[in-house]
Chains A and B, each alone.
Chain A
Amino acid sequence: MEPLPSPASMDVEAPAPAEPTLPAKPLFAPLKAQEMSDGRVQFRKVSVPPHRYSPLKKSWMDIYTPVYEHMKIDIRMNLKARKVELKTRRDTPDVSNLQKCADFVQAFMLGFDVPDAVALLRLDELYVESFEIKDVKTLRGEHLSRAIGRLSGKGGKTKFAIENATKTRIVIADSKIHILGSFANIKIARDSLCSLILGSPAGKVYSKLRAVSARLAERF
């Protein structure tokens, strides 16, 4: 551990007789990530599910570049453990970078595309929310399949409609649903998806979405 940089040497002048002078205000440079955690390196490990293995291999460079160059975080793939490991460097500017990178990689593992997941790196307020269909309504067998079909729509058009209207990204993995976006948008998307799961027809959801998107657009 490096010793803390000594504060700027203070010239302690002999106090003038009869006048007590206050000491000068100390100036501290902002802490670096390393210093904040007492010079220790921080790690994050993200496990890779088997179905994301080959996409990871394909788009490794797209993941590596922004993490290493822009975020200044070390990233490597542990093939044996099937994990992606992230580590802070000495010149990592901010502690939150590590967390952001971890979230980014996690998002990729959930199924989001790299250009979408990169938004996580760039914007603070984006979150990923996951829930299951059975959280909304207990469906079994064919009903479940039909619900999933309803969610996606023909050729995925319902899903895309929701995505475009609410500026989110949705991943439907069997009975798990992940939504990436800002808080309010996630809420809207989640409402739409829940109504679809509960059985409302796509047209109804569309009309609601239209109203919502219009309202969203009017804000500016």
Chain B
Amino acid sequence: MVNPEEAGLQVLRRLKSTDPPTWLAPNPSLAQDARAASLHLFSSLQPFAPKSPFDRLLVDGFDAEQIWQQIDLQSQPLLSGLRRELRRFEKNPAEISDLFGGGEASEGKGKGRGGGVDDLGGEGMEVDGFDEFDEDGDSDGEEDGEGGAEERGVEGGESGESEEGEEERNDGGIEDKFLKIKELEEYLQKDEAREYGLEDGSKKNKEKKTVASDSDEEEEEDEEEEEGDDDDDDDDDDDDDELGEFDVDDEDDGGMGKLGSARYEDFFGGKKEKVAPRKYRSSDGLESSTDDEGEENGADGNKGNHNLSTHEKELLDLKAKIEQMEKSNLEPKTWTMQGEVTAAKRPKNSALEVDLDFEHNVRPAPVITEEVTASLEELIRNRILEGHFDDVEKPPSLPTKAPREIKELDENKSKRGLAEIYEEEYAQRTNLASAPLSFSDELKKEASLLFKKVCLKLDALSHFHFAPKPIIEDMSIQANVPALAMEEIAPLAVSDAAMLAPEEVFAGKGDIKDETELTQADRKRRRAKKKRINKAEATKRMAKKGRETALNRGEGKEE
């Protein structure tokens, strides 16, 4: 063991002594040295690392990343353990002095280790300087190695302390205001007694005591393990077993002594006392016979407890549980298990204590993080740049008809005389070509002409069955126009003789009355007349139809 150690130390010293610039270029010899150093450091730390899967660092043929991972696996638990120890020492500085005091008078193993640690500790401090030259991948292992060395320094001291000082320190760093080892043991004893019976429990305690005295350290260590995962010594694989039987404190003889010196008579006497309270406990409305039964059973069970095997004990247990469950099934259920429960049926404020499960049909509110805000702002910015907003726009109303020209009222004095105005009006009336002055645009005129042609062609498709004749402007329309216009070009005076005879202008007989001039009686008369006419027409139509159908039927019959 010493030679490899020496070799390792030599390698480390060599590494330390190389010039910093040499690390910049890849150097096979330096790499080799670095690997050897890592290997040495790893193996030195190995005894302290409890759960490391590697016994030694595998460096041949592995690259820096893999070596680093191995070292990491070993060092992580070490580091956490050390941190915990540090915190503990922060709280109780007195222990540090104990540590060093114990460390001086330690056993050989601890001392050797401590000595080695001191030596290497110094190296470790010096090796610290290599921290900065981290460019080479090969130096990664070394970095971790020196960290391990630091740990070891502390750990070595501590291991010595724990080996010696366990007698003095009854409550290690484990006990605080919540956990008292004594209370824990008392409880465990009680539980054991309940489960197995005091007699057996006392026996078992006796057994355990012997076992415990052998493995005091380890249990002590295990305590620490349970609490703080320290790993000074090697782990025992029977951690879990000891947990189960962990109700012994070899110091606490007082409690143990009572149980340990119990005799059968004491036990039975105690048992009779115990049975009575048990009887009271189990009495909750059941018949006394059942009670007696239970008592007997209990007594028997207690009596025969030590005669029954574990399996039978388990069965009894199960039976008791089943009984209990059946009893609870018969009782009315709690309000949470019933179906629809109104407020009157449940105790006050009980809904507050129960965790009710609702279906929330609401999406949970989004957690606003910086990313969310940033994304929103980005979106807003883009929208503004594009000009793409979600404004509500009115749907464009389709033009139902062409917009009429709104003739604005002229509020100024008319520049032309009345005669001229009427002259113009007359000219418009007589001269049909100048009539469509309402067309504002030449294009509109053209468009309307084209449309008329298209309509004509479309109508031709249906053989003009429905279409009226197209109105072309150049057709002569008999308008109510002064007759003289037809003959003279520009008459100065216009005669009131018109083209249409008065009957053609308006044909009506009787007293012509305007709508507003009608009296109520007139209106009634008009309405009655309308109805009479309509009725006559309707009857005529019906008669015609009847004749037609009769004719058709007649024809049908003939055929």
Contact = CB atoms under 8 A, between A and B. Distances in A.
Given A113-B417, A220-B428, A122 B411 contact: no
Given A119-B419, A181-B418, A220-B428, A161 B411 contact: yes
Contacts of A59: none
A122 B422 contact: yes
A122 B493 contact: yes
B435 interface: yes
Interface stretch (B100-108, B255-263, B311-319, B401-409): B401-409
B404 A115 contact: no
B419 A157 contact: no
Contacts of A220: 428-429, 435, 437-438
Given A122-B493, A124-B496, A167 B410 contact: no
A156 B414 CA distance: 12
Interface in A84-132: 113-116, 118-119, 121-126
B413 interface: yes
A212 B540 CA distance: 43
B323 interface: no
B435 A209 contact: no
Contact of A164 (B410, B428, B437): B410
A182 B404 CA distance: 26
B404 A122 contact: no
A214 B437 CA distance: 14
Nearest to B436: A220
A161 B417 contact: no
B417 A115 contact: yes
Contacts of A119: 417-419, 421-422
Contacts of B437: 220
Contacts of A160: 410-414
Contacts of A31: none
A178 interface: no
Contacts of A213: 407, 409
B86 interface: no
A125 B492 contact: no
A72 interface: no
Nearest to A116: B418
Nearest to B423: A122
A126 B495 CA distance: 13
Nearest to B409: A161
Nearest to A157: B411
A217 interface: yes
Contacts, number: 83
Contacts of A148: none
A64 interface: no
A160 B413 CA distance: 5
A180 B429 CA distance: 21
A156 B421 CA distance: 20
Contact of A125 (B420, B435, B496): B496
A181 B413 CA distance: 16
Interface string B422-448: 110100110000010110000000000
A82 interface: no
A217 to B, nearest CB: 6
A210 B417 contact: no
A206 B408 CA distance: 10
B24 interface: no
A181 B496 CA distance: 16
Contact of A214 (B406, B416, B417, B428): B406
A167 B406 contact: no
A70 B422 contact: no
A169 interface: yes
B337 to A, nearest CB: 78
Interface of B: 404, 406-407, 409-414, 416-423, 425, 428-429, 435, 437-438, 492-496
29 contacts: A70-B492, A113-B417, A114-B417, A115-B418, A116-B418, A119-B417, A119-B419, A122-B419, A122-B423, A122-B492, A122-B493, A123-B419, A124-B494, A124-B495, A125-B496, A153-B411, A157-B412, A158-B411, A160-B412, A160-B413, A160-B414, A164-B409, A164-B414, A165-B409, A167-B421, A169-B418, A182-B422, A218-B438, A220-B428
Q: List the 9 closest A-B pairs by CB distance, nearest first.
A: A115-B417, A119-B419, A157-B411, A116-B418, A119-B418, A164-B410, A161-B409, A118-B419, A161-B411
Given A114-B417, A124-B495, A218-B438, 5 more contacts: A115-B417, A119-B417, A122-B422, A161-B411, A164-B411
